[in-house]
Each structure stands twice: as structure tokens, then as C-alpha cells.
Amino acid sequence: MTSLLSVSDLHVGFGRDPKASEVVRGVSFDLEPGGTLGIVGESGSGKSVTALSINRLVDFGGGRITSGSIMLDRADSTTLDVTRADERTLRSIRGRDVGMIFQEPMTSLNPVHTIGAQIEEAFRLSKGLSRDAAHKASLEVLDRVRIPDARSRLKYYPHQLSGGMRQRVMIAMALASSPRLLIADEPTTALDVTVQAQIMALLAELRAETGMSMIFITHDIGLVAGIADHIMVMQNGLVVEHNETDRVLDNPQHDYTRHLLRAVPHFTAGNAVRDDGARQQTKDPIITVDDLVVRFPIGKGLFKSSGAIHAVDGVSFDLMPGETLGIVGESGSGKSTTARAILGLNSTQRGNIKTLSGHSRRPVQMVFQDPFASLNPRLNVEALLAEPALANGQKLDAALKARMHFLLERVGLPVDALSRYPHQFSGGQRQRLCIARALMLNPDVVVLDEAVSALDVSVQARVLELLVDLQREFRLAYLFISHDMAVVERIAHRIAVMFAGQIVEIGDARAVLADPQHSYTKRLISAVPAIERRKQHFAVDVTQVPSLVRPAGYEPPPAHWHEAGDDHSYRLEDIR
């Protein structure tokens, strides 16, 4: 069969002398029409640079193809060597012949235009649709990527959507052009497992309908296992293994491939839950959240709003000293809003948040998802670590510097890191800095909001081990927010499942994962990608996500709970 894409001995470099600083060194592969190639590897392996070279977007990032060829079979039956094409020709293939989904949607969406305007523009430019037809097509594609309230969401600006929803908008825009080859660069990193499963099902459905080929770049080998025909493993700019998916997963030949497979957290439906006695046997919770309500007014009006987004509705839970409570659910379910309310970063309409009282009470600290965005690039590590202590009234004295040295050692960073700046560290090292900074005030509770989701699997495994060790040493309580069920299984003692702003199931982690009772929890668990589930085919879910937009004065019906066992309860399905 004639290849749709043939890459031969590709070399790509950066800087003034690209040949002397090559980050892709001799990559070769063929992709057949309708085929899917999964490219896996850790940060810096050359995955994304290889993908960006296929439509020459690497040129805009300072990269240069120093040698090799990229032969693309076009829709008009001509063959184009992308490495030799001029910019006018390249513009004609981008979007139409080669579509692209990027990892970070906020850098790809225009912040001054509504998402409706941006999606409609994609339809008009690629398919020549009229304004009305483009508007209708935009509604349909938003429905297909499972964005609720699609008609109203078209009027939103990117900053008004969650990270997961922004990624769905990017996927919708890429699908608007119906490309023959779709390059997806970590497209589901910010998505929860149910939406991730639906996006993967949608891509598989489109591939079956249109014959579209795909290159899927990810660090999640479990995700690749369910969609790729072939897997190519990259390390330090080189292809170290390339074969059919089953052969790579069942009989890996290279040591690096085996290392990646060992580092992947495998979901085991509760069998890998921690049982380390880290929780303290005490009757007094370190945090009690009771009937928490957070709403955001919407609509026009001089004195009052026409309605509100019910982001969090009646959430209650306890967090015990030394315990990890994992909060899971779709993006937009209220996980992060709940955490921000506990920290006082969101105002609340109702409910109580109580922390352990007394003069010895220590603050609650937070570790965010993106470590680079959390660290001031103008401050060195010493200033970054001192900042929370200085804001708390402490002085930069010998005792504070000793605390810095101690924490850097505990998170696995050298003391000479104090004089360095955030850009001089890897992603995993930056997240370790954020953890050290959160511990500077010796807190009782650390809130971790998707704190490991952006890390490579091996780095993620090391950070999780670090968190467990720090919890035991400092008797920390964690509120661990994540969409990755396999990660939550390995760190959480208890789990709370959130859906549409409400907790629908809560209890002992092993009980919740091994014997889920609520239908949404069952959907979450069934959607977890895993190497062991590689033959599982997800069907596109047509279930409507309930709207969180409610008219002024609306109050949800009272909750009804059922006990499923010791420390395991679920909400009867009468909500919304």
C-alpha cells in the first residue's frame, strides 16, 4: 500500500548552528492511509519536534530541518516533499492535508475572540461554508466533543472555560477541516478519563468514516495501546524501538521501552490502594467541609444577575490528619473550585469550612498543575522559597535558610539550586520546587491540584514516591485532585467522586474503586485506559452532561444518600 506519509532520515536542529545542536537524529517511518502511529517518550526525546517538522511548524520555533525528507501524498494524488516546499505551499497543506492538535490550548486560542468565532472561522476557511452554516456546524462539533450548553458556550471567551473544555475546543477546530492526516500532540493530557475516552472514541470513529490517518504523541502508553497500530519509542532524538503495538507492549526489546512500561501506573480497580498506616487514628478532622456552595453570577442586569453557574452545590467531607483524600471527576465538575474555596481563593455563598483550631494550627498550602506558571521567572530559588515565609512575617535569617537547605535535600535537589532560576530546571524539578515551597511554612494540609498530570510517567512515579515519603515524615494531609484514576489509586486513602458540582460517591479508596455504586463512578472506572484493556473499544457516549447554569433563585433538591458499607456511601441518582 502506498504510504500517506514517508519520513526518511530526518534531522532537526536549533540555534545558529542547527547541525551542531540536533534534537532529532535520523528518524524514519512510514504511515499508511487510515493507520495510526503512536509516538511515545519522555520530555526532550524529540517527539513533538518530529511532529512539528511534518508541516514545518518547527520553523516558527527556531528549528531547522538539516537533512532528510518528508514525503506527503496529497489529496490531488501528487507527492510533496515538505522539506523543500515554499511557505505558500505549506499554508495550503496545514489544516486541510495535515491537521494539528496541540497540548496547551490557551496558547493556541485567541483570547480576544469568542470560541464560536474561532470555530466558525475554521469551517468557513476550510470548507467555504456560509456564516449560518458555519454556526450550525460549530454547534454540532461542540456537541460531538461533549461540551455542555454548546449554544451558550459559543459566546464564551477562552479564559471562561476550564482547561479540559479549552482542549475540546481545540480538537473541534482541528476536526473542522476534515484533514487526511491528524497530528495529536498530547491532546488529552488535560482531560479526565471519561472525556478522554470519548475523544479517543470520536477520533477512532472519524478515522473509520473518513480514512483519516493519525500520529498520536503521548507519554501515556496505556492510551496509545488502545488506538495505535504501530508504536515508535523515542529517546534523546533517536528511535530506539518501532514495531506493531502488540509486539512493543508484550515483548519490548529496548531497555528504555521496558523502563517506560514499568513506570506507567496500571489501574487495578483498587488492588494497588495504599495500606501503609499513614493516617492517624484520631476523631478530629484537620478540615471539615459542610454544605459548601459556590456560584458565579451570569447574565445582564443593573442590580442583579439573571442566573448563576452552580459550580459547587452542597459539598461535604472530612479530611483526617495524615490522610490523602483523592477528588476525581470531569473537568468542570467542581474539583478545583472546591479546593480554591478551601484556600479562600473563591468566595462562597453558603457552607462552612473548618480547620483544626488552636494556636498550633498551621496554614493550608497548594501545589498547582503547571509548575512553570506557578514560579516567578524573575526570582531565583532562594527568593521563591523565602517568599511564603516572608509574607507570613518571618525573617530571612539562618534558621530560614537552614529550612530551605533541608527541604531542597528532601525533594531531591542540590543546595546550589538556590542561586538558579526556574527556567534552568526540568518540569519534574520545577514541580519539586513547588512542593518544597509549599512545605516552607510547615503546613498541616497540602492541596495538590493536578500536580503530577503534566509530568512524564517516570518523573511522575518519582514525584508520587516523594509525596508519600513527605506525608509519612511530616504527617501531612493531602487533598489530591486528579483526573488520572491510576494515579489516585496509588496515593489516596479515601476517594470523593464529583459530578456536576456535587459529590456523588465517597469512601474508602479500595471500596470505591473495587465496588463502585454510582453510575458516574462506574463510567469513570470503565473509561480508564490501560495496556491490559488495549482491545477495548469505547463507543461515543451520547449522554448529555447536565448544565450547571441555573436561573436566579434555583435551589437543587435535597440529597439522598445510601450506605454501601463501612466508610462507603453514594448519592441516589435524583440530582439535576
Q: Are residues 376 and 350 in the same domain?
A: no
- Cβ(268)–Cβ(489) below 8 Å: yes
Name the residue among 389, 318, 319, 309 with its Cα closest to residue 349.
Answer: 309
Domain boundary among 425, 443, 461: 443
Tell me how many degrees the CA angle 307-313-315 measures, rounded to the nearest 5.
165
Indicate if the alpha-carbon torsion angle 522, 523, 528, 534 is positive or negative.
positive
Supply the pLDDT for residue 362.
64
3-state class (DSSP) for residue 554: coil
Residues 199-208: tens digit of each pLDDT: 777 777 778 7
The predicted model gives 239-253 an average pLDDT of 93
User: How many structural domains compose the chain?
Assistant: 3
CATH code for the domain of 323: 3.40.50.300
Give residue 406's domain range: 370-443
Buried b (16+ CB within 10 A) or exposed e, 63-75: bbbbebebbbbbe
Q: Which residue has the higher pLDDT, 369 or 322?
A: 322
Q: Are residues 431 and 452 in the same domain?
A: no
Supply the pLDDT for residue 576.
45
In a domain, residue 563? The reply is yes
Provide the mean pLDDT of the chain: 85
d(CA 28, CA 13): 16
Supply the pLDDT for residue 360.
44
Contacts of residue 189, defined as CB under 8 A and 6 or more positions apart, other chains included, come to 103, 167, 218, 453, 454
**What does DSSP say about strands 307-319 and 287-298: parallel, antiparallel, or unpaired?**
antiparallel
Q: Are residues 467 and 565 in the same domain?
A: yes
Q: Are residues 428 and 536 in the same domain?
A: no
**If you search the block for the grid coordinates 509519612, which residue do you land on?**
472
Percent of the chain residues topping a pLDDT of 90: 40
Query: In which band, very low, low, confident or very high, does the pLDDT at 358 lie, cut at 50, 70 and 90?
Result: very low
Q: Are residues 355 and 493 in the same domain?
A: yes
Supply the pLDDT for residue 138.
92
**pTM assigned to the model:** 0.78
Using CB atoms within 10 Å of the CB of residue 34, give its burial: 0 to 12 exposed, 13 to 18 middle, 19+ buried. middle
Residues 481-533: tens digit of each pLDDT: 988 888 899 999 999 999 989 999 999 999 999 999 999 899 888 877 766 65
3-state class (DSSP) for residue 351: strand
Q: Are residues 415 and 457 in the same domain?
A: no
In a domain, residue 406? The reply is yes
Q: Where are the alpha helices (DSSP H) in 362-476?
A: 371-374, 381-391, 398-410, 427-438, 457-474
Q: Are residues 393 and 496 in the same domain?
A: no
Domain boundary among 155, 178, 201: 178
For residue 575, pLDDT beyond 50: no
Domain boundary among 443, 463, 486: 443
Q: Are residues 311 and 355 in the same domain?
A: yes
Residues 283-319: tens digit of each pLDDT: 689 999 999 999 888 876 555 667 888 889 999 999 9
Contacts of residue 2, defined as CB under 8 A and 6 or more positions apart, other chains included, come to 33, 73
